[in-house]
Amino acid sequence: MKIPLLDLRLQYNSIKDEISAALDRVLNAQRFVLGEEVEHLEGEIARYCDTSYGVGVASGTDALILSLKALGIKEKDEVITTPLSFIATAEAISSVGAIPVFVDIDKRTYNIDPALIEEKITKKTKAIMPVHIYGQCADMDPILELARRDNLTVIEDCAQAIGASYKDRKAGTMGDTGGVSFFPSKNLGAFGDGGMVVTNDKKIAEKINILRVHGSSERYRHEILGHNSRLDNLQAAVLAVKLKSLDKWIKMRQELALLYEDLLSGTAVTTPFVPEYNTHTYHLYVVGTPRRDELLKHLLSSGIETRVYYPIPIHLQECYSYLGYKKGDLPIAEWASENTLAIPIYPGLKKEGARIVADCIKEFFKK
């Protein structure tokens, strides 16, 4: 039995008719860039995330870039972030000319370790960008306390964590902005690229609204240099349909995660740790073992798709060699890159499928 890491066809088939109707509505209107569908989705996402504003942009990466620009982060400013994330996190910082400063992670949650942030703050530090990795929030209170003390802005990278919560606060509501990704594989995924900035600050929302359309608040008048970063109506229509099922789909992921935890209890793999104050959405179900590469080959040879997130931590990526980091500088992130992998978890995966995955892992460790 082949089990993919993610099967979006199951999700699509469950809402196919509603998706078709939404797409027909946009095609009949022949309005494709921004417009009513985007405005509707912005309001719905803002309500879902418990924020006052949502601004649709072209991608999750752009959500971070435009947030940084709107918050005044500029060339040679320092932004503290995590080395265990997709490159887009640091790439966004570099795109505005700022310098990413990497802080090691907590070995249990894989999120940035707040206890290590203070020592990296300098006169050049202007912001902290925590990433809510794999679907659960970073420990935000100590991060926010440091930000208040040192007058730093906080941009939450919520690309993997829409719907997650920290002490009853939704991801994206705690910092100055939250950057959401609608990449197709995300828990709320479009039929292509898309993203959104969520915020409670009206001025920031207004600034991002201008930045996303070439720095213009009215046609052919450009107050600032901006970007072409607009969410289109087709994607917004699809996402509005999917949003109605998001909580149900997250619950399915959480039920599968509980099953995995039970089935893998007592084995030689480390299952996800969730602090009592967090609600995990399980965008990814990541397990750890020193025999990671062997286990990966065993699962793949058994027809079970698996993947490593992320095999090279950002501070060791070639494009950041100029920063001078070397192997051993951030040992926990490096350990995670060498010892963890993701196993299948998605709405529509049957319990039988999860049991097959767990049995395959158990079989491996009996060898």
Name all domains of the chain by residue range, CATH numbers in brackets: 8-103+110-243 (3.40.640.10), 246-365 (3.90.1150.10)
pLDDT digits (tens, 9 = 90+) for 305-360: 999 999 999 999 999 999 999 999 999 999 999 999 999 999 999 999 999 999 99
pLDDT digits (tens, 9 = 90+) for 68-100: 999 999 999 999 999 999 999 999 999 999 999
Residue burial 226-237, b: 16+ Cβ < 10 Å; e: rest: bbebbbbbbbbb
Averaged pLDDT for residues 232-239: 96
Q: How confident is the model at residue 289 (pLDDT cuts 50, 70, 90)?
A: very high
Provide DSSP, 54-108: EEEES-HHHHHHHHHHHTT--TT-EEEE-SSS-THHHHHHHHTT-EEEE--B-TT
Helix 60-70 to helix 88-95 angle (10° resolution) is: 40
For the chain, give the mean pLDDT: 96
Separation CA 347–CA 253 (nearest Å)? 6
Q: Report whether pLDDT(365) > 80.
A: yes
- Tell me the HSE value of 2 on the side-chain side, using a 13 A CA sphere: 3
In this predicted structure, what is the pLDDT of residue 220?
A: 83
pLDDT digits (tens, 9 = 90+) for 11-47: 999 999 999 999 999 898 888 888 899 999 999 999 9
Rounded to 5 degrees, φ, ψ at 102 are -95, 135
State the DSSP code for 293: H
Averaged pLDDT for residues 200-226: 91
In this predicted structure, what is the pLDDT of residue 180?
A: 98
pLDDT digits (tens, 9 = 90+) for 126-164: 999 999 999 999 999 999 999 999 999 999 999 999 999
In this predicted structure, what is the pLDDT of residue 12?
A: 92
| pTM of the predicted structure, to 2 decimals | 0.95
Helix 246-263 to helix 351-365 angle (10° resolution) is: 30
CB atoms within 10 A of CB 145: 12
- CA 20 from chain centre, in angstroms, equals 27
Separation CA 107–CA 29 (nearest Å)? 51
Q: How confident is the model at residue 362 (pLDDT cuts 50, 70, 90)?
A: very high
In this predicted structure, what is the pLDDT of residue 366?
A: 85
In this predicted structure, what is the pLDDT of residue 195?
A: 98
Q: Report whether pLDDT(263) > 80.
A: yes
Averaged pLDDT for residues 208-222: 89
Q: Report whether pLDDT(247) > 90.
A: yes
Q: How confident is the model at residue 218 (pLDDT cuts 50, 70, 90)?
A: confident
Q: How confident is the model at residue 105 (pLDDT cuts 50, 70, 90)?
A: very high
Helices (H), the chain: 8-14, 16-29, 36-49, 60-70, 88-95, 140-150, 202-211, 233-243, 246-263, 292-301, 331-339, 351-365
pLDDT digits (tens, 9 = 90+) for 166-209: 999 999 999 999 999 999 999 999 999 999 999 999 999 999 99
Q: Report whether pLDDT(219) > 90.
A: no
Residue 165: both structure tokens together: 């919560």
Q: Report whether pLDDT(1) > 80.
A: no
Q: How confident is the model at residue 298 (pLDDT cuts 50, 70, 90)?
A: very high
